[in-house]
Amino acid sequence: MESAVFYRNLRNPLERIVRGEGVFLYDAKGRRYLDAVGGTSVVSIGHGVKEIYEAVGREAANITYAFNGHFTTRWQEELAEAILSVAPPEMAKVYFMCSGSEANETAVKMARQYHLHRGKPTKHKIIARWQSYHGITLGMLALSGRPSWREPFDPYLMAVPHISPPYCYRCPYGKTYPDCAVACADELERCILQEGPDTVAAFIAEPVIGTSVTGVVPVPEYYKKVREICDRHDVLFIADEVLCGYGRTGYPFAIQPWGVSADIVTMGKAITSGYAPLSATVASARVVDAFMRSPSGEFTHGSTHSGNAMSCFIGLQVHKYMREHNLFARPGQIGGYLHERLAGLADKHAIVGDTRGRGLLAGVEFVADRKSHRPWPADARVTERIVAGARRRGVMLIPGMKDANYGKGGDHIQITPPYVISEAEVDMIVDVLDEAIGEVAATLPSAG
């Protein structure tokens, strides 16, 4: 019988998953898959954690929904406090939505109204980066620097200035760190000056880049320069941590290792580990103060499920579980072993050009020539075939976007397993990847 579901690919019927446990998923045919990507970097505490669904069963009888334009709930209040308990001290309040796209929309609206409340109505532009992804709505797609997803909808997208990413492996300036003097950060200031400082409201960036060029970690000076530039021109810094945040990199907030603060931070995915839809936009005291000082104190924004009571309850249970099991720090610990194993793949396979990332956010890039970093042509389908080979062997991976080389090709994969993964399960991922790479490489011309 043909499915009534409008799948992402109508020519690609999907296997039905019936159960999850730890880092594994099981389909209706009894096949087991190691979920090496946590769905889409969502699953943090693992699949099938009984403490979560037992708590939901107890609480659902009390309150599942109240419109946050009329009421607040205990769960929204307590989850906001819990998030701030692991946040940098300058962060002050939390706004809840359902998805990462909505969290970033919230951040943009917050930045705009921050400047309006301060009497600066001309500041409205948001600067973003190429090789970025901020969401599926038309507004966030306009900010995203992912050409392959933007092109079908270009007629609907607002104009957004974009700058180069801090992608050292493919430096847009053809330079090498540290001699480059972090020119990619300086480009932000040039862009602000070109657009006009009086028109720029905020700069948005993923602290560690996600699927558009998975696992790129900027050099130590990058965000310090970004922070200085933003401060110099009265521009807010929005850290999009929907994918890389909430412990994924070994820190509660992914921006923390750079020793700088963002004005607004967005979260999603891991915040409920996939047990419910939820995202959060965390505002600094600086931003909150502008709203508090305005005559109305109003934030013109909201949706039907803003601050959804049951989602916030589940988010609170996930937060408690993470605190009790040290899961905010664990990705930094087990992630070291994952990156060590992945680095070893380059010794065996000439097509492995780069392994990178932080914590349990890892990327592996494949090239036809290591010296020049030349990518394979699209028709070689390198990423697609490696991911398919891993799936046949029971390991789920995510193919990175084909925009890794400025929309002209580039093969890479994403590895973002649940935080509870063991060393033995890391070995399973890397050993299967080793086999899948070898299988595909054997059919390709010799890599340089």
CATH of the domain at 381: 3.90.1150.10
Of 264, 259, 292, 300, whose CA–CA distance to 280 is shortest? 264
The reply to whether 300 and 349 lie within a common domain is no
Whether residue 169 has pLDDT greater than 90: yes
Q: CB within 8 A of 436, min separation 6: which ones? A: 385, 386, 387, 389, 390, 393
Of the pLDDT bands very low, low, confident and very high (cuts 50, 70, 90), residue 65 is: confident
Q: Starting from the edge strand earliest in sequence, which strands make up the sheet with 32-35, in order? A: 17-21, 24-27, 32-35, 395-396
Which of 61-65, 83-87, 369-373, 422-426 is predicted with the least confidence, judged by mean pLDDT? Answer: 61-65
Domain boundary among the residues 258, 289, 324 is at: 324
Residue 7 lies in a domain: no
Cβ atoms 418, 332 nearer than 8 A: no
Of 133, 142, 129, whose CA–CA distance to 184 is shortest? 129
Of the pLDDT bands very low, low, confident and very high (cuts 50, 70, 90), residue 362 is: very high
What is the residue type of 294? S
Of the pLDDT bands very low, low, confident and very high (cuts 50, 70, 90), residue 150 is: very high
Whether residue 406 has pLDDT greater than 70: no
CB-CB neighbours of 254 under 10 Å: 28
The reply to whether 98 and 239 lie within a common domain is yes
The reply to whether 131 and 217 lie within a common domain is yes
Residue 357 lies in a domain: yes
Domain boundary among the residues 261, 290, 324 is at: 324
Residue 235 lies in a domain: yes
Rounded Cα distance between 99 and 81, Å, is 20
Q: How many domains does the chain have?
A: 2
Residue 447 lies in a domain: no
What is the residue type of 47? H
SS3 at position 235: coil
Res 60: pLDDT: 79
Rounded Cα distance between 259 and 386, Å, is 37
* pLDDT tens digits, 113-149: 999 999 999 999 999 999 999 999 999 999 999 988 9
CB-CB neighbours of 135 under 10 Å: 23
Residue 89 lies in a domain: yes
Beta strands in 375-434 (DSSP E): 395-396, 398-399, 411-415
What secondary structure letter does DSSP report for 401?
P
First-to-last alpha carbon distance for the chain, in angstroms, is 49
Rounded Cα distance between 165 and 73, Å, is 40
Q: What residues does 361 pair with on adjacent strands?
A: 358
The reply to whether 72 and 197 lie within a common domain is yes
The reply to whether 90 and 63 lie within a common domain is yes
Residue 448 lies in a domain: no
The reply to whether 66 and 91 lie within a common domain is yes
Mean pLDDT of the chain, nearest integer: 95
The reply to whether 320 and 333 lie within a common domain is no
364 vs 405, higher pLDDT:
364
Residue 245: give the domain boundaries: 54-324
Residue 126 lies in a domain: yes
Q: What is the CATH number of the domain that holds 218?
A: 3.40.640.10
Angle formed by the axes of helices 285-293 and 100-117, nearest 10° = 50
The reply to whether 40 and 63 lie within a common domain is no
The reply to whether 191 and 338 lie within a common domain is no
Domain boundary among the residues 294, 309, 324 is at: 324
Helices (H), 285-380: 285-293, 309-324, 330-343, 345-348
The reply to whether 42 and 113 lie within a common domain is no
The reply to whether 30 and 113 lie within a common domain is no
Cβ atoms 421, 413 nearer than 8 A: no
Residue 5 lies in a domain: no
The reply to whether 138 and 217 lie within a common domain is yes
